[in-house]
Structure formats: C-alpha cells, structure tokens
Structure 1
C-alpha cells in the first residue's frame, strides 16, 4: 500500500479526502452487507419457527402414540401398599394380600484376624450361586482387605465388606467378612466356602457359615402376595423385589413393611386429568407456533403527523410458504374428525385471531360420556398436527428447513461477494492514495518554485521616475 504523509507538500488532508472517496466507492458493498444482514435476520426467525414446529411434532407424536391417552391411575386401600397403572391397564378393582417382602441375602463370617492359608498360600474362597455356578476367589494375601478386594473384583454372586469385630485375647484387631448378594430375592441366594470349587463338589470344603460366630443375617427370599386370599381361587404371586410387576396386566404394586399381612383393594380408574393435561400441552404448543408465525408475518399500520397511513410488514410478510405452514397446522387442529365430530365437542375451539382455546371441563365431560371415542378423537387431532408440524420441521425435507437452507445459500453467496469487494476496495484505495500522493508531491514542487520566484522578484532593483 502507498504511504502518505497526509499533505506534506500541498497542505491538504489527504487521509480525509481518500476516506470520503472510499466511502462512496464502498456503497455497493454496504448494500450487500445490508442484504446479508437481512438474510441472517430471516434465518434467525425461521430457526425459531423450526424449533417450535419440531417441539410440536414431538409432543403431538407422543399424544398420538398407541395407548398414549389410555391414562389410568391406581389407588390402594392400605397404607404401605402403592400401585401404578400403565397404558395397557384396564379400569377395575382387585384384592391383594402381601404376605412377605423380598430380601437380599447377607452373611457374616466368624471374627478373623487374618484370612486362613492352605499350603502356605492364602486359602481359596469359593462362592456358589443359586444356580450352582461356582466362582473361585484367591486373595493376594491373608489381609482381610485383600480378601474384600478379590471378592469384589471377581464378578461373583456377592460383594464383600470388612466389618470391625473387636480384638482377640492379645489385643489384636478382629474383623468379620460381610458378604451381600448382588441380586435381590431367592435368585440371589449363595453359599460361601473356604476351599476350591472341586473341594466344594467333593464335600470337603468348609462352609463359612458353619463356623462358630458366623451367621446368615438375612436369608434370600422373594416377596409373596396372595390374589383371592382365602378362596378356592387363591393364587400366590412372587417377585424378586418388593414390587410386583403386572399383578394384572399393566398394574404394578409395591409393598413396604407397613402393608404386609393386610388385605388390600387396588382400584384402577381413568386419569382424565392426565389426558386433559396432554390436550392442553398440545394446544399450547400449537398456539406457540401459530403465534410466532403471526408475529413474523404481521403488517402494522401507523399514521404520520400529516395523517397519511403507512404499512410496515414483518420479516416474513408475504412469504407464502410460512403462511401455508400456519394454514396446515390450523386445519389439522380444527378440521372435523373422521367420525364427523367437531374438535369443539372435546374442548378445542378456534378463536378469531386464528389461535385455539382449550376447555378442560368440556373434555372431561366428553371422556365421561364416551371415553374410548374421545381418546380416539384427541389422538386423531394429535396425529394430524404431528404430520403438519413434521412436514414443516423435518431435518432434510421440512419446508422451514428448506427455507433456512435457501437463505443460508444466499447469505453465503453475499458473503463471497462482500469478501471480493474487500479486495477490490483495498486495491482502489491504494490507487487513490498513489494518485493523491503524486498530486501532493507535484503541488509541493510548484509551491517551492513559487517561493523561489517570489524571492527572486523581491531581489530585483526598484526604479522611480527620477532614476537616471
């Protein structure tokens, strides 16, 4: 780039002159930047719409899923017994008596100062699970800590814990090895032996629980409950945990100690409040999308001081694609169902501004009168809304997605053109500076000549009329 000393020869402010000229030269680039900024603003709005449409599609898909509106609640007549109904449950009642809770087996060994040895090395510990499979554990040393580490890294049916157990006659510390099953219920039962798996099979290994001071603190057992207790149809239900899954299809019951031994009635009823919440969430999401589209396409009219009205459009005013999305979502929400019923019959009403209101009481009444038909109607509306929202927001094929891609392409092209203008303006600035620097040098030379001539003229002799 040419160097300028800013009018050293001419006295002119060359920098300001060049900057003013370049500001004019850069007007086309400024227009390109404004166009790019507008495209970016449009993309910001479109991305917001796409997010709302995608959220609506996700929510609608959940409502429209099979059995999603088959919401039921389960109540228990006994403190300490709770029940939960899934979407595959059926309304009704049944009686259940829990007779015992599930337990996880816990064994503790007799007090040990150190783990015993066999042949000069730490003895092998063998754990046998409920299926008869054996896991051999060989500690690194006779340290109880090493035994705990070996058991816990073996992947066997139990985990170990070192527990202080006082001291021996000489004052040396003693410890118990606590073994806890990794599984709850009868399937988590295990036995622990000092000896190898072969010795266990041969019956020559020592059962650790047979030593004096050892104990099975908690035996492994399943939870048990009785259906139809005291009748000829009495049926035993078992569970590895204290939760009985699918006592009847879709209904699970969880028991605590407070509920053991008490006859309990489980009542399953329709969860109309839960269905109403899903409907309300769906309509709220519909309004969220429609409101955002309305704000982006709204035309605002203002009156000036002269009384002349002026209309100002939104960023997406006139965009027929976005308006078509709003029309599709609106149609999906208020169009009559396949059985000819109107959405207003289940509390979904279109308003004058194009958004929707939801009447929970009306939906609740409809569910009471025709639960199956009402759930089916709501699911149909949700499915239609999901389709409209998905068509707008799908990652590759969605109409909003494609609008964003098109705007991005235009923005990228404008960016390329702006960058080319940067080089063009830099070259032009160099040329203008060179021209003005040359002019400044020429003017400096002329000023020097002017000064010389002025001094020469001043040195000439002065003549008057009396001079001979």
Structure 2
C-alpha cells in the first residue's frame, strides 16, 4: 500500500511477507465494505435490468396495440379494376362509388421543339450574351393537400448545360419533374389536382415560376409553364357528388384508389374483421407478457447463497477464471429475492386481469374472462395468462369492436360509469393493455427511486446514497491502512536497527577478547 521497502538485512526475517500477512488481517473490515459495495452495485444493476425489460414490454404494447389498431379489417371491392380499397380499423358499413366522371391528373407544361438544342447545349448560348441570361429563378407547385408549396430558388451560371438545368430542377424540392427529350421540354407537377383556394384568394395554376424562369423556359420552347391544367378527381359516393385532388384518398375508414372513369354499375366496398390476425396478435401478446412475468417471478424466487460473498481481489488471484465465474454466479443469486417492489408490482398486474370495464359498449364482453382470457390455475406462476381460443374466437366473431375496446380503449382511470344493473359509480374505463402500461410506469418509478438511472447522481436514489456512504468509508479505511502499514514498518525498522546495533556491539566484544 506504500512505497517498496527492503527489510530483514539484520534479522534475516522476511519482513515484507510478515507485514503483508499482518495487513491481510487489518484489511478485513475494508474487505467487508468492498463486498457490500459490490452487492449494492449488483442490486442496482439487477433493478435497472428489470426496468429495461419493462420498457421493452411497454414499447411492444405501444407499437402493436396502441399506435396501431388491433381491429384489423379486410376490404372487398365489387370491381377492383375500377376502384380498390383497403380497410382501416375504423372502417364500418359499406361504401358505394356510383360513378367517377374524372380522374385526378397533374398539371403539365409541354414546350415546342427547339431545333439544334441538345442536353449538352449551354443555356448561355441561347441568349445574345451570357450577361442577358438570368442567374437564378424560382419554382413553386402544389403539395399533397392541393395548396401551393414553398417557393424554391434555383441558381445557374453561364456554364450550365440544358441537362444540368434539368437535373437542378429535378433535384430541388420544387415539386415538379422536368424532362428534355428530342428538343422538347416537359415539366409536370408531382402532385395531381387543381390548386385549392387559400385565404379567400382565387386558386392559381398548379405550377408557378417568376419572370426569370419564364424567360429561361421560353428559350427552351415552353412559352407557358402550364399548358395542360391539373384536374381533381370527381366522383359520387353514397349518393353525394364530391371531388379530391388525388385518386388515392381516405373516406369512412377506407383507403380508396380510383383507377378508371365509369358511370355504371356502381362499385361497392365492404369490410370484415380479420379474426385470425387479431387472434394471432393476442396470442403473441400473451406469450410476450408471460415471458416477462415468468422472468420476474424467477428473480424473486432465486435462492440466496449467504456463504458466497463477493470475492476480494486477493481471493481472485488464488482462483482460476472458471472458479471465479461459478462463485460469482452464486454470489449474485437472490439479489432481488422476495423484493417488495417487484412482488407488489406483480400482484397489481395480476389484479388487473379481474377488473370489469363498464365502458365497453357490449357489456357481455366487459371483462377478460368473458372473452376467454384469464390467469393460470397455477398460483405459483405469478399471474401468467391463459387463453381459451374457442371462447376468444367466438367473441371476436360476434362483436370484435367490444373485444378491442376491452383490450385497448383509451378511457379514464376514474370515470363515471353505469353498471349492468343500472347503478352508477366510478371505475377504470381504460383498456387492459393501457392499464398494464400504467402499472409498469408505477413499478418503474419505484425502481428509479431505489436504483436510479444512468443519468442520475448517486444522491438521487437510495442505493446511490448507500454507495456514496460506502465509498466515503472506504476512502477513510485506505488512509487508515496506510498509517497502520507505516506503523508496522517503523516497528520492524526499529527492531532491525536494534539488532544491527546489538550485532555491532557483539562484534566489538569479540574483537576485544580474541584479538
């Protein structure tokens, strides 16, 4: 612990070895502190690992059941060559497209052929002087909503060729596509339809340029940027005449794509719930949830090997790698055994399964057991779920919306509800999976209070405070052990000095008597 010393020259004793062994005994209180520190660190990491698993489960639920609709539906079109449809989870009833008088088309400008001009022709050569050629121009076109997009500025110079000019337009965010082929220039809006009225102003052309752009396009034979205006799709749906700027749009939960003009017969879209897909999603959720619950239960029931304390550095030096691994496996076992945060959290999660949701429109399916989902009959499983597939399928076929509500509806934690018997009260109207997410959040916050997060200071969580205290005591012990070792060396040095002095006196006496 201190600088290297050499002793035993007078006594012949291995002073270094003696001091080292004495210090092993002196270090015992410090070793216990270091072992306690290691246990705190292992516990902290074990808690944080639980939080990571909860975050993974929460993200899985959000991605697959909250952000996406569980109620997947399939749409059928009576004539998909004329109109195709995709049903979203909100699709309901049928939708009839009686006729399509116009399909949406993009605005386009087609110029006259300019003889002698190719892609390699420099734009400046089309002007009397390079000084007369504009160095910058603007373009603007409609966006997907039919409103005029941002005005985009495009710069060129006297070295810019026609091909480079076209590439600059196509590489910009102007919302147009340009083409120069066989001496002709064509510019087409990327989005279909007419420009819609904005702020009470009369709609303009779907593509606009400034004076500089007009001058440049005229040199390439395009005297008017728009020679064929864009048009909206015009059609009749469920007896109502309407229009859209595109041929693909959403209406009544259906994503519709108009493919051709027609007048009769009408095209009808219907939707049906994809029961098999919902069954698959629910089974996947149950398997994922059960894996999470089983993992946590296993951690709370891990055996605790009290004889296997964390190894000190000195102990590790006397063991091989495999033995160290085996020892630490047992030393880490049971870190979260019977942990109150996890066991109470598991109990709360298990309790959610038995709750009734009176906000479900069909009260026949207002609890998980009514749709065939319940906890395992083995109480030691900790609340893993089991599915009665026959019962779940029957519920989905009879009222899929009620099943989806029971599992995923937003609702409120404490809302006014009317029960089946007609009485009123308050209850949790959130779907089962939303309740799980809320309970995971509660457990996670409790673990944060105890084990913190990587971004938190030690003083912000319980185990961090313990570690801070242990580290402070370790620092004190390190200083103390240095003093103790120095004291031992001083004592042995004094002994060596006395022995050396005695040896000198003995030698002197010897010389006096035998000289």
**Pair 1:378-2:407 in alignment:** yes
For residues 383 and 73 of structure 1, what CA distance do their matches in structure 2 show? 26
Question: For residue 121 of structure 1, what is the aligned residue in structure 2?
Answer: 131
User: Retained in 2: the 8 A contact 1:102–1:222?
Assistant: yes
Shift of 1:406: 1.4
Provide the secondary structure at the position in 1 that maps to 2:12: coil
Return 277-286 or 348-357, whichever deviates more.
277-286
Question: For residue 94 of structure 1, what is the aligned residue in structure 2?
Answer: 96
Shift of 1:324: 0.7
User: Retained in 2: the 8 A contact 1:96–1:228?
Assistant: yes
For residues 448 and 286 of structure 1, what CA distance do their matches in structure 2 show? 83
Provide the secondary structure at the position in 1 that maps to 2:7: coil
Question: For residue 169 of structure 1, what is the aligned residue in structure 2?
Answer: none
Match of 2:300 among 290, 297, 300: 297
Question: For residue 372 of structure 2, what is the aligned residue in structure 1?
Answer: 347
Provide the secondary structure at the position in 2 that maps to 1:422: helix
Provide the secondary structure at the position in 1 that maps to 2:74: strand
**Pair 1:239-2:248 in alignment:** no
Please give the per-residue CA displacement for 1:17-46, whole angstroms capped at 9, x wherever unaligned. Answer: 111111111111111111111111112221
**Pair 1:444-2:500 in alignment:** yes
Question: For residue 357 of structure 1, what is the aligned residue in structure 2?
Answer: 386
For residues 462 and 252 of structure 2, what CA distance do their matches in structure 1 show? 52
User: Retained in 2: the 8 A contact 1:349–1:357?
Assistant: yes
Shift of 1:47: 1.2
Question: For residue 465 of structure 1, what is the aligned residue in structure 2?
Answer: none
For residues 112 and 152 of structure 2, what CA distance do their matches in structure 1 show? 18
**Pair 1:415-2:471 in alignment:** yes
For residues 318 and 137 of structure 1, what CA distance do their matches in structure 2 show? 69
Question: For residue 419 of structure 2, what is the aligned residue in structure 1?
Answer: none
The 5 Å alignment of 1:1-80 reads: 1=2, 3-60=4-61, 68-76=69-77, 77-78=79-80
Shift of 1:12: 1.3
The 5 Å alignment of 1:45-444 reads: 45-60=46-61, 68-76=69-77, 77-78=79-80, 82-95=84-97, 100=103, 102-103=105-106, 105=108, 107=110, 110-111=113-114, 112=117, 113-115=121-123, 116-117=126-127, 121-124=131-134, 139-141=156-158, 143-144=160-161, 147=165, 158=176, 163=180, 179-181=187-189, 183-187=191-195, 189-190=206-207, 208=218, 211=221, 221-222=230-231, 224=233, 226-227=235-236, 233=239, 235=241, 237-240=243-246, 242-243=247-248, 245-246=249-250, 248-254=251-257, 264-298=267-301, 300=303, 314-338=334-358, 342-351=367-376, 352=378, 353-354=381-382, 355-379=384-408, 380-393=431-444, 398-404=445-451, 405-444=461-500
Provide the secondary structure at the position in 1 that maps to 2:341: helix
User: Retained in 1: the 8 A contact 2:107–2:207?
Assistant: no
User: Retained in 2: the 8 A contact 1:32–1:418?
Assistant: yes
Corresponding pairs, count: 420
User: Retained in 2: the 8 A contact 1:209–1:216?
Assistant: no
Quickly say closer, same or farther: Cα 1:144–1:315, change in 2 above 3 A.
same
Provide the secondary structure at the position in 2 that maps to 1:94: strand
For residues 58 and 138 of structure 2, what CA distance do their matches in structure 1 show? 56
The 5 Å alignment of 1:449-468 reads: 449-454=505-510, 457=513, 459=514
Provide the secondary structure at the position in 2 that maps to 1:269: strand
For residues 153 and 301 of structure 1, what CA distance do their matches in structure 2 show? 66
Provide the secondary structure at the position in 1 that maps to 2:89: coil
Shift of 1:180: 4.4
Task: Say which structure, 1 or 2, has more relative contact order (CA 8 Å, 6+ apart).
Answer: 1
For residues 496 and 109 of structure 2, what CA distance do their matches in structure 1 show? 100
For residues 273 and 88 of structure 2, what CA distance do their matches in structure 1 show? 11
Shift of 1:392: 1.0
Provide the secondary structure at the position in 2 that maps to 1:74: strand
User: Retained in 1: the 8 A contact 2:349–2:436?
Assistant: yes
Provide the secondary structure at the position in 2 that maps to 1:268: strand
Question: For residue 168 of structure 1, what is the aligned residue in structure 2?
Answer: none
Larger Rg over CA atoms: 1
Quickly say closer, same or farther: Cα 1:121–1:449, change in 2 above 3 A.
same
Quickly say closer, same or farther: Cα 1:269–1:164, change in 2 above 3 A.
closer
Question: For residue 427 of structure 2, what is the aligned residue in structure 1?
Answer: none
Shift of 1:251: 1.3
User: Retained in 2: the 8 A contact 1:108–1:217?
Assistant: no
Provide the secondary structure at the position in 2 that maps to 1:349: strand
Quickly say closer, same or farther: Cα 1:73–1:155, change in 2 above 3 A.
closer
User: Retained in 1: the 8 A contact 2:75–2:272?
Assistant: yes
For residues 158 and 418 of structure 1, what CA distance do their matches in structure 2 show? 70
